[in-house]
Amino acid sequence: DKKVVLITGCSSGIGLSLAVRLASDPDKSFKVYATMRNLAKKERLLECVKGLHKDTLDILQMDVTDRQSILDARDRVVEKRVDILVCNAGVGLMGPLEMQSLDSMRQILEVNLLGTVQTIQAFLSEMKAQGQGRILVTGSTGGLHGLPFNEVYCASKFAIEGACESLAVLLQHFNIHVSLIECGPVNTDFMANLQKVELEDASLQQVDIQTLSLYEKYLQHCSDIFQNAAQDTEDIVKVFLDAIQSPSPAFRYFTNSVVPPLTKLKVTEPDGSQYISAMSKLIFSTEEQ
């Protein structure tokens, strides 16, 4: 029998790649429900799976901020069960905190935190009743340690860690495994899709000169990191497959196989000061480049 997989945020990036890989599995082990907020964007996914049998892929509309659309998507799953739920949809928000509107901050929390939690909610009773299941969540190293100019994004990803860890403790009693796939920078539409304060933005003039110069350094750091160290979605998909295929998956997977040194610092030096100065040095000290 095929494993039924439902994935959120499949119009681009990690969600799209994962949907393509699972739907084109050589053993046809999966039936994939690739969901996306806007079905008008399904062409890219359809192009990638050209020539595939229809019995491994279905595309459904689902906006993770809209409870009814989640329930509608759930009701359209023909098998009436989901074995593997992948909560992947997410958006970024970047810029000096004093410039963020309440609306844009709300939107990030709405998609990243509440979107993930209410998607899980919708499938939880059925998974418990089945006595088996997998919940995979696309996490971020920004959910493990803070990043300047990403306060609300990090807050949303930290919050997911808390929600998932709490659930994992409970759900092992139901044979349901929760796993976070912790990604560093990945080559996707994420940087293009995120809400970002641009340097040319007139509103940046409201911000003090020191913040402005630090933000410039941050943006430079960011673009260097994405150019030099970003992973491809295929690398991320491999890690998802590891988690899916493992009989007893771990709670956390790191996509570049090792725990990043800065993340480790947070654990080994719990008072936090070493992490904060190391991160500050990494991003803001120009001598280091």
One of 153, 215, 218, 253 is an active-site residue; which one?
153
Look at residues 45, 123, 139, 41 and name the one whose alpha carbon lies nearest to residue 90.
139
Report the Cα 139 to chain-centroid distance in Å: 5
**144 annotated among ligand-binding-site residues:** no
In the complex, the residues that contact ligand NAD under the rule CB under 6 A are 8-9, 11-15, 37, 63-65, 88-91, 111, 115, 138, 140, 183, 185-186, 188-190, 193
**20 annotated among ligand-binding-site residues:** yes
CB-CB neighbours of 44 under 10 Å: 14
Task: Using the Cα atoms of residue 185, residue 186, residue 189 and residue 193 in order, give the sign of their dihedral.
Answer: negative
**12 annotated among ligand-binding-site residues:** yes
State in Å, rounded, how far the first CA of the chain is from the last one: 53
In the bound complex, what is the minimum distance in angstroms from residue 132's beta carbon to ligand NAD? 25
In the bound complex, what is the minimum distance in angstroms from residue 173's beta carbon to ligand NAD? 27
Residue 130 or 193 with smaller CB distance to ligand NAD: 193
As a whole number of angstroms, the longest Cα–Cα distance in the chain is 61
In the bound complex, what is the minimum distance in angstroms from residue 279's beta carbon to ligand NAD? 16
Residue 31 or 157 with smaller CB distance to ligand NAD: 157
State how far the alpha carbon of 203 is from the alpha carbons of 101, 141, 184, 196, in Å: 12, 29, 30, 12
Helix (H) or strand (E) holding 242: helix 233-245
Residue 138 or 179 with smaller CB distance to ligand NAD: 138
**30 annotated among ligand-binding-site residues:** yes
In the bound complex, what is the minimum distance in angstroms from residue 196's beta carbon to ligand NAD? 12
For residues 3 and 27, is the Cβ–Cβ distance under 8 A? no
**51 annotated among ligand-binding-site residues:** no
Look at residues 126, 125, 289, 131 and name the one whose alpha carbon lies nearest to residue 222.
289
Told to judge if 153 belongs to the known catalytic residues of this protein, a careful annotator would answer: yes
Residue 123 or 207 with smaller CB distance to ligand NAD: 123
Active-site residue set: 153
Binding residues for substrate: 140
Binding residues for NADP(+): 9-37, 63, 157
